[in-house]
Every structure is written in structure tokens, then in C-alpha cells.
Amino acid sequence: MRFGGIQKTSTIDFPKKLSCVVFTLGCDLDCFYCHNRQLIETGDQVPEKEIKAFLEKRKGLLDGVVVSGGEATLQKDLLNFFKYLKKLGYATKLDSNGQNLEIIKKLNEAKLVDYFAIDLKATREKYTRICGEKADYKKTAETIRYLFENKADFEVRTTLYPGITKEDLIFIAKDFEDFPLWRFNYFHMPEKFKKCDLKRLRGKALTKYDMIKMRKDLNEYQKNLEI
């Protein structure tokens, strides 16, 4: 496992759990608004033994561990790491862009992940424009539908980056049955970004006030919103 950092305590990343968040290095997407770009480019690696020493020390004090990124499903030893977390008695959560369904299937079938958070980033038509040319809306949609069909505990997350519109959110909402939870993350300017993206990053982003105003329209298609 290649780790880029750890958030030692969190009350908001894992529903109803006091958790820590471990961040893996590398990602298969290139979202222009990414707030963890240091993890997908040249981030410093944190030795796995340091991560494990912390997890073993906090056993019984933390409820759960969130494995995030970057994109954790790219890690070759991911299944073994989740087995290790389970042996320590932790509840487990995976944050993912949903592009690697086969890995998510293996984790779910082995009952190694208690809760999934899948990032659904844009409409089908805009996915590559927002997330880079390797991005595939269909893959993420297939992952979400797999989690529905297999009654997994999960949520869907969408970041309200500059340029995403009410119409975009309605297009996304119409494409699926009711998500168990659709969580919106409000945009903050990333510390590190590509110069070519600066103009887009300075654009107008939806605010909480905007989202409250459009809640009724979104509720026609998705009932379980966290705004």
C-alpha cells in the first residue's frame, strides 16, 4: 500500500463513527477541481508501518477507518489492507470514484467494507471535460447500480465545483433510483492546481443558499439529499 497521509480523527467522514482517514497515493482521474492533487502527482509517501502503528495504537479508541485517496482501488494490496483493518476490529469505509467495479465487487463480496462513498462528478456528457479523458461516467454508474442491486450501505457524493449547474444536477438525479444518501460537498479553492484550470476554478460555484432554493426540484427525482 502506498499512503500519502492520515487524518487522525474525524467525526464527519464516516456516518455515526469516530474515525480516522488514511489517504492513498495515485488516481486514474484528473478532476480540475481536485483538492488532493498532491496525492495524484508527486505526494510524499508515508511508510505503511507508520500507518499500521497508529491504527494498532488507536484500536478500541476509534470506531472506524476510512480509506480514501487519490483513488484507493488502484492499490494492489487493498483487499489485504481491509482484511487487516477487520482483524483489528474496525468498521471500514471506502471512498472511491467508482471507476473500478471489479475491485469494489471483491471488497463487497468478501464483506470487507461496511460503507461505500462513491463520487459521481458530472453528467454523462461532461464527465471527461470535468475529470479528464480517462474518466467514464458509465463505469461509475455501473458501480452505483451494483451497490443498489446488492443492498450495500453507501452514499453518493457530488462536489459543487465552479460550472456545475442546477440542470446538471437534475440530469444526474433523473438517471438513478433514489440514492440512500446524496451528499453535496461545497467547493473550496484547492491549494495546488494546474495553471490551465485557473480560469475555471475562479468561476461561480453553487452555494448552500442556491442548493436550498433548488431542493424542491431535486426532490422530484432524489429524496435523500444532504445539503
Instruction: Tell me the pLDDT of the chain (227 aa) as tens digits.
Output: 999 999 999 999 999 999 999 999 999 999 999 999 888 866 689 999 999 999 999 999 999 999 999 999 999 999 999 999 999 999 999 999 999 999 999 999 999 999 999 999 999 999 999 999 999 999 999 999 999 999 999 999 999 999 999 999 999 999 999 999 999 999 999 999 999 999 999 999 999 999 999 999 999 999 999 99
The predicted pLDDT at position 218 comes to 98
What span, in angstroms and rounded, lies between the C-alpha atoms of 222 and 181? 9
The SS3 assignment for 91 reads strand
Phi, psi of 155 (to 5 degrees): -135, 160
Q: Are strands 154-160 and 115-119 parallel, antiparallel or unpaired?
A: parallel
Q: Which residue has the cell 479508541?
A: 61
CA-based end-to-end distance of the chain: 34
How many domains does the chain divide into? 1
Of 216, 220, 148, 227, nearest to 180 by C-alpha is 148
Rg (CA), the chain: 17
* Alpha carbon 96 to its chain's center: 4
CATH of the domain at 161: 3.20.20.70
Are 195 and 152 within 8 A, CB to CB? no
> In which domain, by residue range, is 39 found?
3-226
What percentage of the chain's residues is helix, strand, coil (to nearest 5)? 35, 20, 40
The predicted pLDDT at position 43 comes to 67
What span, in angstroms and rounded, lies between the C-alpha atoms of 44 and 25? 9
Element (H, E) at 197: none
What span, in angstroms and rounded, lies between the C-alpha atoms of 39 and 95? 14
